[in-house]
Amino acid sequence: MADRPITYREALSSALREEMQRDERVFIMGEEVGVWGGTYAVTRGFLDEFGARRVRDTPISEMVIAGAAVGAAMAGLRPIAEIMTINFAFLALDAIINHAAKVRYMFNGQFTVPLVIRTTTGGGKQLGATHSHAPEVIFAHFPGLYVAVPGTAYDAKGMLKASIRDDNPVLFVEHSTMLQRRSPVPDDPDFLLPIGKSDIKRKGSDVTIVTYQKGLEHSLVAAEELAKEGIEAEIVDLRWLRPLDLEPVFESFKKTNRCVVVEESLPMFNVGAEVAAQIHDVCFDWMDAPVKRVAAMDIPLPYSHEIELMALPSPEKIIRAVKEVV
């Protein structure tokens, strides 16, 4: 079957639809997912197609959404809970971290938690500090919870379908400014991507850029600019913050000897900190320069659009960081 370029949004929709068609136990719950069709129109038409039993609008309470979803998963259903933005998931941290991530360990695996919590991340839409951060790294801190961060339509579809079919709880993080991005995606209803595998998105020999989601988009732009100056960046798209697959990063680093980590997270205790520490540990004898990090500025994201963009990573910031190490 030929791969068709579709949008990130269509990739998510089709993944959900296919999995709901495939498995009766799969259902969707969240704020505005039914009548309204989802805040980002990912579930538009689902209420008509699958009915109110499987597409459930909930009260405006993230703790209720996540808590009920954990219970349903423990009881044998395969819920897909939607939380409008990851910044609101803080309200549901107890259900997500203390319950979804830990309950199997605490009850000796008597049950599984086949739960997917879909949420959106990312700034740049002038929504203010409480809606705009990209704090997915917080959720990746805890063992027991997978954290998916797809950066293309292709990855979004294959990773979401794999998440729904997996028996472990997954926080599935979508980037709110990338829903229109297109890439070719297989039509195959069994198109799955492995959980916890990063992916080389661009080959290069001079510097390794480790990134995901919006950082991937910026890095690809930066890499083309750098290539004009003869600097070839290799881009590793992590795709999952947990399980974190750094093998391709180490392999790439042993070739390039330099690394820049690009992410939209805040700069302290972020993905770059983890990647840098592990490179330092595994690749010390291959290091030619310190690992550099490009992240959001260490401030609550401003409301002013211009200042908000200044506070976020950009291709220019990536180019600057790369030039500091090559």
Partner 1 sequence: MAEPIIMPKLGFDMAEGTLVNWTVQTGQAIKKGDVIAEIETDKATIEIETTVEGTVLQLLAEPGDVVAVGAPIGYVGAEGEAPPEGAAPAKAAPAAAAEDAEEPAPAAPVQAAEVAPVEAAETGGDGVLKISPIARRLADERGIDPRHVQGTGPGGRITKKDIEGFVVAKAKAPAAPVAPKTAPAVPATPPIPPEAPRPTMPTFTEIPSGPDVEVIPLSRIRARIGQRLVESKQFVPHFYVTSEIDMAAALGLRQQINASIADEAGRITVNDFIVKATALALRRFPNLNSHYYGDKLVRHARINIGIAVSLDSGLVNVTSYDADKVSLGTMAYNHRDMITRAREGKVKPHEIEGSTFTVSNLGLFDVDHFIAIINPPEAGILAIGSAKKVPVVLEDGTLGVGTRMKVTISVDHRVSDGVEAASFLQVFKELLENPMRLLI
Binding interface with partner 1 (CB under 8 A): 257, 284-289, 324
Smallest gap, in angstroms, from Cβ of residue 286 to partner 1? Answer: 5
Closer of 95 and 291 to partner 1 (Cβ): 291
Q: Which residue bears the tokens 């495939």?
A: 22
Position 81, amino acid: A
Residue from 216, 45, 43 nearest 134 by CA:
216
* Catalytic residue (choose from 131, 133, 175, 218): 131
What is the full DSSP assignment across 169-208? -EEEEEETT-TT-EEEE---TT----TT--EEEE--SSEE
Residue from 303, 274, 276, 304 nearest 290 by CA:
276
Residue from 82, 224, 231, 256 nearest 164 by CA:
82
Name the token pair of 172: 């599935």
* Catalytic residue (choose from 62, 82, 234, 263): 62
Closer of 100 and 259 to partner 1 (Cβ): 259
Check: CB of residue 282 under 8 Å from CB of residue 250. yes
Closer of 87 and 257 to partner 1 (Cβ): 257
Smallest gap, in angstroms, from Cβ of residue 283 to partner 1? Answer: 9
Task: State yes or no: cis peptide before 302, omega within 30 of 0.
Answer: no
Sign of the four-CA dihedral 232, 233, 235, 236: positive
Smallest gap, in angstroms, from Cβ of residue 293 to partner 1? Answer: 16
Smallest gap, in angstroms, from Cβ of residue 326 to partner 1? Answer: 9
Closer of 168 and 257 to partner 1 (Cβ): 257
Smallest gap, in angstroms, from Cβ of residue 284 to partner 1? Answer: 5
Closer of 285 and 306 to partner 1 (Cβ): 285
Name the token pair of 151: 């950066």
Burial 25-58 (b: 16+ CB within 10 A, else e): ebbbbbbbbbeebbbbebbeebbeebeeebbbeb
Q: Is 247 a catalytic residue?
A: no
Check: CB of residue 271 under 8 Å from CB of residue 265. yes
Smallest gap, in angstroms, from Cβ of residue 316 to partner 1? Answer: 19
Q: Is 62 a catalytic residue?
A: yes
- Count of residues making up the chain: 326
Position 133, amino acid: H
Check: CB of residue 33 under 8 Å from CB of residue 82. yes
C-alpha span between 238 and 199 (Å, rounded): 6
Closer of 316 and 324 to partner 1 (Cβ): 324
Residues annotated as part of the active site:
62, 131
